[in-house]
Structure 1
Amino acid sequence: MKPRLPQLDRPVRMPSRSRILAAVIMLAVILGPFVGHLLGAGHGQAATPVEPLPLDSLLRQAEDQSPQVLRQLLLALVMSLCCTAIHLAVTVLVVVSYESHSLMAWASRTPLGRITLIAGTAMVTFLAMFVEILSWAALYLQQGAILPVEEALYFSSVTFASLGYGDITLDLPFRLLASLEALVGILMAGWSTALLVAVIQKCLALRFHRTDHGSDPTTATNP
């Protein structure tokens, strides 16, 4: 005996041919211009092929440009060490300030004191980053990459902040140096953000500790 198939309560309705055809036409109308643009771009690229350079030419170019690249890397290393030293000095200043019991006791009494500590830390980190931007601008002026002082300062600030406007670009011998400044700027911005967040957390801890216990937090815990 053949097993009986279970009967469905409602019959399954298959889409009609007209609906399928209408859906295909609508999809073609939507994707047609996009596909045509891709085919046209591919055809334009195929019309102007780029011939690869021989291996000996690449090695010769790398050998000729290696002193210049090495010089830019050394300059970027020196500038990154200078920026690290500046940010390290700011961090040590903040840590030493928070080890002062009198300063912590003053900040824990009023909200104005805690706001002053946060704003002071933000201003110190901003000044540190501004000094670093000035240092990179002075390097560009010394190397002859950008001659006007205002233009060098503007380019250094835009590159340090990784804005990437692109309205001012350096010549080929200094492009690598500018990209490395952007990398250093990202690291220094993250360092400043972490330091400011730590200060905000400390000020919040002072506020909540005084509200909950009503005592001097500098005597209860070691900051």
Structure 2
Amino acid sequence: MMLPFLVGTLVSLACIGLHALVTVVAVSIARSAGLRHTARPRSHLMGVMMATAVVLMVAHVLEVLVWAATYSIVGAAAAEDGLLYFAFVNYTTLGYGDITPVREWRLIGPLTAMNGVLLFGWSAAVLFEVLRKTLDHLEAAKAPRSASG
């Protein structure tokens, strides 16, 4: 029981690190894009939000690939059942149950789900913060500038 917990914890930490890296990149790109002056602020906001969401989705797919590779390495389930699919079902907490892990690796599914829930929440927070900051900038750009200088 300890080996699956240890492996799941290490993979979770790796995915958290990957998500942190992608978050830093996404926020820096969104910040620079959000600071641009534009004649079409709504379209600009939509573009910033869509780009940020796509970058975060790519991070989630990479994290699912890390989990699928881990499942393959440890033999958590039969490879012919589709380990990538199994990782997606666990990570997104769908829990279809059509593929089940081998008995000694049962704990890895819930650990994957816990990691996915955490990282999806993190992504939602990042998207909200990018939206808030971009809106703040767009509002500041619309405000009349003071004559003092």
Smaller-chain TM-score bracket:
0.7 to 0.9
Look up the match of 1:194. Answer: 125
TM-score (norm 2): 0.86
Question: Distance in 2 between the 1:92 and 1:119 partners?
Answer: 17
Cα contact 1:161–1:182 (8 A) shared by 2: yes
Residues 140-177 of structure 1: CA deviation (Å, up to 9, x unaligned): 11112234367111110010011111111112111111
Look up the match of 2:43. Answer: 112
Aligned partner letter, 2:41: T
* Contiguous gaps of at least 5 residues in structure 1: 1-68
Residues 99-134 of structure 1: CA deviation (Å, up to 9, x unaligned): 54x761246863322221111110011000100001
Q: Does 1:90 align with 2:30?
A: no
How many equivalent residue pairs? Answer: 146
Instruction: List aligned pairs for 1:8-47, cutoff 5 A.
Output: none
Look up the match of 2:94. Answer: 163
Structure number with larger C-alpha Rg = 1
Instruction: List aligned pairs for 1:63-212, cutoff 5 A.
Output: 69-98=1-30, 100=32, 104-106=35-37, 110-148=41-79, 151-211=82-142
Cα contact 1:108–1:206 (8 A) shared by 2: no
TM-score (norm 1): 0.59
Of structures 1 and 2, the one scoring higher in RCO (CA 8 A, sep 6+) is 2
Instruction: Say what the alpha-carbon RMSD is for the aligned residues.
Output: 2.3
Aligned partner letter, 1:179: P
From the superposition, tell whether residues 193 and 202 of structure 1 become closer, same or farther in structure 2 (CA, over 3 Å): same
Cα contact 1:107–1:114 (8 A) shared by 2: no
**CA deviation after TM superposition for structure 1 residue 77, in Å:** 1.5
Q: Which moved more, 1:192-201 or 1:108-117?
A: 108-117
Aligned-pair identity in percent equals: 33
* Contiguous gaps of at least 5 residues in structure 2: none
